[in-house]
Chains A and B, each alone.
Chain A
Amino acid sequence: MPPRLCALCNEARAILKRPKTGQQICKECFFWVFETEVHNTITEAELFKPGDRVAIGASGGKDSTVLAHVMKTLNERYQYGLELFLLSIDEGITGYRDDSLETVKRNQQQYDMPLKILSYNELYGWTMDAIVSQIGKKNNCTFCGVFRRQALDRGAASLHVDHIVTGHNADDIAETVLMNIMRGDIARLGRCTLICTQGEDTIKRSKPFKYAYEKEIVMYAYFKKLDYFSTECIYSPDAYRGHARVFLKDLEAARPSAIIDIIHSGETFEVKEEVKATQKTQQTCKRCGYMSSNELCKACTLLEGLERGMAAAAVTERARKKLDAEGPAPENLRTIPFYQQAHPPTNAAGLPI
């Protein structure tokens, strides 16, 4: 078979078939189009302003490792004027996170970015190892998810950043669209395809890889020889997400555009105003000051359950009632330090990139 030439430059040998377009392209053109598409995603959504301080949520895995590399590349190539940081959360999972954090520490050297690591133990007084030894493997993803979200915001506040970017890719978003449909969570369905979200007074979060296929992210890491860590979390992964993932991969094998098509469907759903109205208004957690839709935020409720030995409290409504019936939280209960939102100086130019 004669080598196929790149559909873009017509010179070099093609090494990759793009899932999005079916185009066969060479290595250099692949790097260029991958980076340029992310740049276009960033500029079209006007994600940043010059002078912004941006934390990259870094797990040491493929997505965030490629994100750190691409953010650094684009920031230099197009002079975004961003100050970039790596922010890692240490969930306290022996044999998993401790190893992946070593990767992040190497990334810190390789990319020359300041790194902040915030641990669950430091913030909540509990590691995931300790949580799982109390509650078992069922539902532990709920704790981890709630705790990580708040930990990322708190870590970002301590770095005084304006913005957190995460490595969520097109496959992740399509998967979440499917899951929200399968769970009937229409309010979330309306939000899950947004490229940038911002709570009442929290830091912006966005997903520059929203339209980047996992296949291309992995290929990019492979051809750039990026250093990343890949091991499944040792505590049982979210089973429902697992089904959505397998289903999506099967769809992609039959029709590669399925992923982008599902995101498109998610984006164009019109969520009725009545459905939106059922969402509770945001308030501030009376115990820790973090944004919340109830008097107590989810993390405080989970932590109280753990501390009082009734960990199911925030997972089911019935257990929550039981916890309340046991009486108010004891005075000496361990709580999360009060959240202070950093108010960074606004930049003078103020124009989006």
Chain B
Amino acid sequence: MSGLVSVKVEFSGGLELLFDNQRSHRVSVPSHVSTSGKKTLNNNEGTDAGEGRPADLAHLILWLRDNLLKEREELFVENGTVRPGILVLVNDTDWELEGEGDYQLRDGDDIVFISTLHGG
């Protein structure tokens, strides 16, 4: 199996400003993440794909922070998830109906982040 999952990510409501002012991105993230947060010696022995748990939305959020975000991280992530006031949609469905951060990413998923925090 492939070691990457490819998803479309969109930012709006002002969030795009943190991501190089670009609204739409296509990203490929590791399809599995190490089960422990820290690297252990055992990691060196395993193959890089198919190990650990499947990548979920919580993982994608941290991946975006580490790989795509350009500035002011605190406006996107807080306590390991998106900051309160940011809406998330998975394939045009409120992520609250999809298990939020536990939603397992699938190839071709369309993930939208909208900030509600900007002026009305």
Binding site for B on A (CB under 8 A): 1, 4, 13-17, 24, 59, 61-64, 167-169, 171-172, 214-215, 217-219, 222-223, 230-233, 245-246, 249-250, 252-253
CB pair B119–A230 under 8 Å, yes or no, is yes
| Cβ contact of B118, chosen from A13, A215, A232, cutoff 8 A | A232
CB distance from A308 to the nearest CB of B (A): 31
B94 contact set on A, CB distance < 8 A: 15-17, 219
| Cβ contact of B13, chosen from A24, A62, A223, cutoff 8 A | A62
- In Å, the complex CA distance between A253 and B82 comes to 11
CB pair A172–B92 under 8 Å, yes or no, is no
Please classify the interface of chain B as helix (H, G, I), strand (E, B), loop, or mixed, using the class held by over half of its residues. Answer: loop
Given A62-B13, A231-B118, A249-B117, 12 more contacts at CB 8 Å?
A13-B93, A15-B92, A15-B94, A15-B97, A17-B94, A59-B119, A214-B85, A215-B116, A217-B120, A230-B115, A232-B14, A232-B119
CB pair B84–A253 under 8 Å, yes or no, is yes
- In Å, the complex CA distance between A205 and B14 comes to 28
- In Å, the complex CA distance between A172 and B87 comes to 17
For A61, the closest partner residue in chain B by CB is: B120
CB pair A214–B116 under 8 Å, yes or no, is yes
- In Å, the complex CA distance between A73 and B108 comes to 35
CB pair A59–B117 under 8 Å, yes or no, is no
B115 contact set on A, CB distance < 8 A: 230
- In Å, the complex CA distance between A218 and B87 comes to 9
- In Å, the complex CA distance between A218 and B92 comes to 13
For window 63-111 of B, CB contacts with A under 8 Å fall at 83-85, 87, 89, 92-94, 96-99
B84 contact set on A, CB distance < 8 A: 246, 249-250, 252-253
For B103, the closest partner residue in chain A by CB is: A1
| Cβ contact of B97, chosen from A24, A167, A214, A231, cutoff 8 A | A24
Residue B12 lies at the interface, judged by CB distance under 8 Å to chain A: yes
- In Å, the complex CA distance between A167 and B119 comes to 11
CB distance from B12 to the nearest CB of A (A): 7
| Cβ contact of A64, chosen from B92, B97, B99, B120, cutoff 8 A | B120
A245 contact set on B, CB distance < 8 A: 85, 117
- In Å, the complex CA distance between A24 and B96 comes to 9
B99 contact set on A, CB distance < 8 A: 1
For B115, the closest partner residue in chain A by CB is: A230
What are 14 A-B residue pairs whose CB atoms fall within 8 Å in the complex? Answer: A1-B98, A14-B93, A14-B97, A59-B119, A62-B116, A63-B120, A215-B116, A217-B120, A218-B13, A219-B87, A222-B114, A230-B14, A231-B14, A231-B118
Q: Given the known A-B contacts A218-B114, A230-B12, are A169 and B97 also in contact in the complex, defined by CB atoms under 8 Å?
A: no
CB distance from A253 to the nearest CB of B (A): 4
**Using an 8 Å CB-CB cutoff, how does the interface string of B44-64 with A read, 1 for contact, 0 for none?**
000000000000000000000
B33 contact set on A, CB distance < 8 A: none
